[in-house]
Amino acid sequence: MDRVDPALDQALDLAWACAAAAADRIGVKVVELSAMAELGDCSALLQRVWRAEHPSELASPSMLRTYAHSGNYVAGAYRGGVLVGASVGFFGLAPHGGHGLPHLHSHLAGVERGGHGHGVGFALKLHQRAWTLARGVAEVHWTYDPLILRNAYFNLQKLCADAVEYLPEFYGPMTDGINSGDLSDRILVVWRLGDPRVVDAARGVAAGLDLAGAVPLVSRSGEAGAGDEPVVHDPEDSAAAVTVAVPADVEELRRRDPGAALRWRHAVRDALMGRLAAGHRVAGMSRDGRYLLVRDR
Query: How confident is the model at residue 296, as a pLDDT?
Result: 80
Domains of the chain, by residue range, sit at: 7-202, 215-294
Q: Are 208 and 156 in contact (CB under 8 A)?
A: no
Q: Report whether CATH 3.40.630.30 matches the domain 7-202.
A: yes
Query: How confident is the model over 210-221, as pLDDT tens digits?
Result: 999 999 999 998
CA atoms of 237 and 96, how far apart (whole Å): 27
Compute how many other C-beta atoms are within 10 angstroms of the C-beta atom of residue 1. 9
Separation CA 50–CA 143 (nearest Å): 15
Q: What pLDDT, on the 0 to 100 scale, is given for residue 1?
A: 47
pLDDT under 70: residue ranges of the chain: 1-9, 94-100, 115-117, 173-181, 223-226, 297
Q: What does the pLDDT look like over 244-288, one tens digit per residue?
A: 999 999 999 999 999 999 999 999 999 999 999 999 999 999 999
Which pLDDT value is given to residue 198? Answer: 97
pLDDT of residue 252: 92
**In b/e form, how buried is each residue of 162-178, taking b as 16+ CB within 10 angstroms?**
bbbebeeebeeebebbe
Give the integer Cα–Cα distance in Å for 17 and 202: 10
* Contact by Cβ (8 Å): 127, 19: yes
Q: How far apart are the first and last CA of the chain?
A: 38
How do 82-93 and 73-79 pair as beta strands? antiparallel
Separation of alpha carbons 145 and 92, rounded Å: 21
Given this model, what pLDDT does residue 8 score?
A: 56
What is the three-class DSSP state of 287?
A: coil
The answer to whether the pTM exceeds 0.95 is no
> Residue 269 and residue 102: Cα distance in Å, rounded?
29
Please report the pLDDT score of residue 262 as a whole number: 94
